[in-house]
Structure 1
Amino acid sequence: MEAMVNIFRFYPLEKSMKEDCRSGEHSEPCSPNRSVGLGISRAFPEADAEIDLVDRSEGSDPSSFPHPHSQNTVTLDLTQLLSSDITESGSFHLGCTIWTTSLGKLLQALPIMAFLIDQSCNIAAANRVCERLGSDYEKIVGKPFASILSDLTESAKAEETVKEVFVTRQQRVLNAALGIKPIEIWGRITFRSIRLGTERLVMTLVEDLTIEQRQLLLEQKHNHALTTEISRRRAVERELVATEERYRRVVESANDSIYTTDDRGRFTYLNPVALNQSGYAVEELVGRPYYLLIHPDHVEEVIKWYSSQMAERTPQTYYEFPIVAKNGTTIWIGQNVQLLLKDAQITGVQAIARDITERKIAEERLKASLKEKEVLMREIHHRVKNNLQVISALFTLQADHVDEQKAVDVLRSANARIKAMALVHEKLYGSGNLAQIRIDEYVTDLVNDLIGFSDESTAKIALDIHVDKICFSLETAIPIGIIITELLGNTMTHGFPEGGGGTVQVRLRSLDRDLFELVIRDDGIGILGEMRPENSGSLGLELVAAFARKLQGEVRFDTSEHTEFSMIFKQAEVQGWS
């Protein structure tokens, strides 16, 4: 046995390991444990050599041993290594005595899994390191080596490799995953042909690369993620460059002035239109405050406006103001200003300004024209009022010189109507709005004037006036005034005869946005029978009916107890200038 052990001589890792067939030539015996930690190529250095296991027991003929440095054979001397028989399946089995031999001890001492595979591609032996495949690893002996590979494709490839090694006797290496479920190990599998007497086997050594494989997979995953991230960032950068280029083209080809400033109001960028508009070169404006271009009369208000926007962090505002170009021309601009933010901090503003000088000039002309028309309208209303008052005075004078009472009544009725129309023009003349008058003020003044215009008997009549604060146009106010005048005149004449007293109520209220109600009621003696203004034979009541139709009014007379007139109406359409 000592002779067998001394067959192997292991050198340090930095040297090559060689086999020597001559026993006792080396003074330092070698233990199989010295192989622990060695790579497969170190343990069996000649990759293309078949390992020949021969019997070198005492009494054998040394001359029959192959030379130790033969080109194709590395000789290992064993005693009683082989205990063999041929099973019914044709598989070759090794007895337990193999683990007591130098080869067995060497295989058991290896820190890696080792198998011996027979020519039927079945496992003939497995060392104890194969426990990594499971505690019952010994059950795999006699089974196909390919059965312990995880992938079907790799199983087929492993079987082909074993057969190839049997034929070529050349070393082959295969990377694959193997194991007994649920355990799986990724390994580098080395197949090496060996000869045991007349039998050939394939010695299979498996280096566990699971950790390395996991690290490789992690690195691949990391590299893939890194590559994906780099690709994404490059795509984002390309899109950003493209977006900036599109934005630059839009800004530089815009018809409006576009500029940006920093948070202190200093120009950082101006597009060509802004430079052409101001008349300055870019180097004359960049870095200078924007308010240097503002017209001196408006500097304070503009600074206040934009300071307020930044203080209140208003995202966007619109403001109009004049600037002074380099050549001294005043240009009105209307600009939208948007805050620029970075990390919630204001870094400046971006403005889009449009030249509105022509619009401003047109607006000033329109204002001047409207002012002229306003003055003209006031003068017209004033003159109409004066003319109506002259006519009213003539009617009054004429009534004083007429003896017939019927004629006096006609003149006074006409005079009342004229005063109602004159009062409308007077209110319009004194109103801030020439298009409408406050109907509450107009009705109150009109009713008081009409009652005071009658004879002394009206002193006993009390007035109850309630009118909502509503504005009516001239086209609505005059019909309302005429209707009230006619009905109050009728009340004074027929409701309170011979100086009787009582109460007259006048109500005008808004029912809806476009719907109103007028109610005139008295508690006089009333009128017998049904009253229909359109066929009453009275000019005054016919006027009431005509103006009610003009206002699309629904008229109702109630004479059951006293006399009550009510009308629901709409405002008359305003007639424009023709």
Structure 2
Amino acid sequence: MSFGETGEHITENAFPTKSPDQRFERVVEYAPNAMILISADGTMEMVNAQTEIIFGYARDELLGQPIEMLVPERFRTGHPRLRRSYSEKPNPRPMGAGRDLYALRKDGSEFPVEIGLNPISDGEKHQILAAISDISERKHREEQIARSLREKETLLSEVHHRVKNNLQIIHSLLDMQTSSVIDIQAREALIDSCNRVRSMAQIHQSLYQSEDIAKVNFADFCESLISSLLATFNVDISRVQVKSNLAHVELTIDQAVPYGLIANELITNALKHGFPDGAKGQITVSTQMNDQEVVTLRVSDNGRGMPDDFTPGTSDGLGLQLIELLADQIGGTLDITTNGETTFVINFKIGK
């Protein structure tokens, strides 16, 4: 519950009856929150029944006493200064907005509270009406929710870690199998499979290491992917350079896995086929996101280009078929340009 939101001072004119004081006292007495009327010097002049229940004091134990007796000792010293500061510029508002407030019971126990302050004035006498709500149950529920979220985050992080480990085992098994395969075509197929498995493992590794285990920093992933592929194909970086221009884009796991596999296929294809026979050149990898949250992945190279008879959508190569299927999976579009540089552009909208 929020306090101090009446937006106007309370005066005697607010109670148009023959006995305004009695009506005011009745309103205070039966209020669902602890209500304490405080004088300008901080003395408690009126308390209601709920105050007795919440704080554990009898009414006559509170009347005439300083309000600081209900303030925990560690905050008591500075409280008179805060009270005077409020009296200099009184206005209806919550007390200590944005801070955790605590009150002190008769038995010495502390409990969290919300306090609304309302100045009351009859022209000569100035008082403060404090509405105090015990929020112990709400705080307890919030702590339970926070603890549950932490436990789920820990569990999810461990799941990503285990998935990553299992994928690395699969990658290692495929890599071992590759070394014993004599047929060149079969070996290349196994290497491609290794790279695909590793790209998925890297995504789960990114999630495991990230503070936000629900999102993948795709720029970091791409940098890691590029380094891995350069090592896999033993690329001479003085001959083939890979330039990256990667915007900060965060993707969910459902988006990052297919998008990561697409990036893997495109970069792999450029490294394997773009620069045969010692040819030199450059591969450019870039990402960006516009105001409509459309993410664009662009991979281009100035190598030998696609075959003369290449027609988008009709290729029987597994890599390009996989790219088309994955682009469709995330609701994206694939555009291929073969004039000059060979350029692949994947667009998709986050959250689609």
Distance 1:312 1:258 in 2: 21
Corresponding residue number in structure 2 for 1:324? 104
The alpha carbon displacement at 1:375 in A equals 1.8
- Matched AA of 2:223: T
- Matched AA of 1:322: Y
The answer as to whether partners of 2:29 and 2:47 remain within 8 angstroms in 1 is no
RMSD: 3.0
| Percentage of matched positions with identical amino acids | 27
Aligned-partner SS, 1:526: coil
Distance 1:523 1:297, change over 3 A: farther
- Matched AA of 2:232: F
Which of these residues, 330, 333, 336, is aligned with residue 113 of structure 2? 333
Corresponding residue number in structure 2 for 1:547? 326
Distance 1:301 1:529 in 2: 83
- Establish whether residue 430 from structure 1 lines up as the match of residue 203 from structure 2: no
Distance 1:483 1:249, change over 3 A: same
Paired residues, number: 336
> When the two structures are superposed, what TM-score results if normalisation uses the length of structure 1?
0.53
Corresponding residue number in structure 2 for 1:283? 60
Distance 2:125 2:174 in 1: 77
Distance 1:294 1:490, change over 3 A: same
- Establish whether residue 418 from structure 1 lines up as the match of residue 197 from structure 2: yes
The answer as to whether partners of 2:117 and 2:128 remain within 8 angstroms in 1 is yes
Distance 1:305 1:554, change over 3 A: farther
- Establish whether residue 349 from structure 1 lines up as the match of residue 128 from structure 2: yes
The answer as to whether partners of 2:335 and 2:346 remain within 8 angstroms in 1 is yes
- Matched AA of 2:34: S
- Establish whether residue 517 from structure 1 lines up as the match of residue 296 from structure 2: yes
Distance 1:342 1:254, change over 3 A: closer
Distance 1:240 1:365, change over 3 A: same
Higher relative contact order (CA 8 A, sep 6+): 2
The alpha carbon displacement at 1:412 in A equals 1.0
Corresponding residue number in structure 2 for 1:462? 241
Aligned-partner SS, 1:499: coil
Which of these residues, 64, 69, 85, is aligned with residue 292 of structure 1? 69
Corresponding residue number in structure 1 for 2:138? 359
Distance 1:508 1:561 in 2: 21
Cα offsets for 1:7-41 (capped at 9, x unmatched): xxxxxxxxxxxxxxxxxxxxxxxxxxxxxxxxxxx
The alpha carbon displacement at 1:387 in A equals 1.6
Which of these residues, 420, 427, 451, is aligned with residue 230 of structure 2? 451
Which of these residues, 494, 501, 523, is aligned with residue 273 of structure 2? 494
Which of these residues, 45, 50, 54, is aligned with residue 268 of structure 1? 45
The alpha carbon displacement at 1:529 in A equals 4.4
The answer as to whether partners of 1:316 and 1:338 remain within 8 angstroms in 2 is yes
Aligned-partner SS, 2:16: helix
Aligned-partner SS, 1:445: helix
> When the two structures are superposed, what TM-score results if normalisation uses the length of structure 2?
0.84
Cα offsets for 1:332-355 (capped at 9, x unmatched): 222223455677x99453322222
The alpha carbon displacement at 1:311 in A equals 7.0
Aligned-partner SS, 1:561: coil
The answer as to whether partners of 2:15 and 2:24 remain within 8 angstroms in 1 is no
- Matched AA of 1:333: V
Greater CA drift, 443-452 or 303-312: 303-312
